[in-house]
Chains A and B, each alone.
Chain A
Amino acid sequence: QKEVEQNSGPLSVPEGAIASLNCTYSDRGSQSFFWYRQYSGKSPELIMFIYSNGDKEDGRFTAQLNKASQYVSLLIRDSQPSDSATYLCAVNTDKLIFGTGTRLQVFP
Chain B
Amino acid sequence: NAGVTQTPKFQVLKTGQSMTLQCAQDMNHNSMYWYRQDPGMGLRLIYYSASEGTTDKGEVPNGYNVSRLNKREFSLRLESAAPSQTSVYFCASSTASGLGYEQYFGPGTRLTVT
Chain A residues in the interface with B (C-beta under 8 A): 31-32, 34, 42-46, 49, 88, 92-96, 98-101
Contacts and interface: CB of A to CB of B under 8 A. Distances in A.
Given A99-B42, A100-B41, A100-B42, A45 B105 contact: yes
Contacts, number: 44
Interface of B: 40-43, 45, 58, 90, 99-108
A75 to B, nearest CB: 20
A36 to B, nearest CB: 8
Given A43-B108, A46-B104, A94-B99, 10 more contacts: A43-B106, A44-B43, A44-B105, A46-B102, A46-B103, A49-B102, A92-B99, A96-B99, A96-B100, A99-B42
B99 A43 contact: no
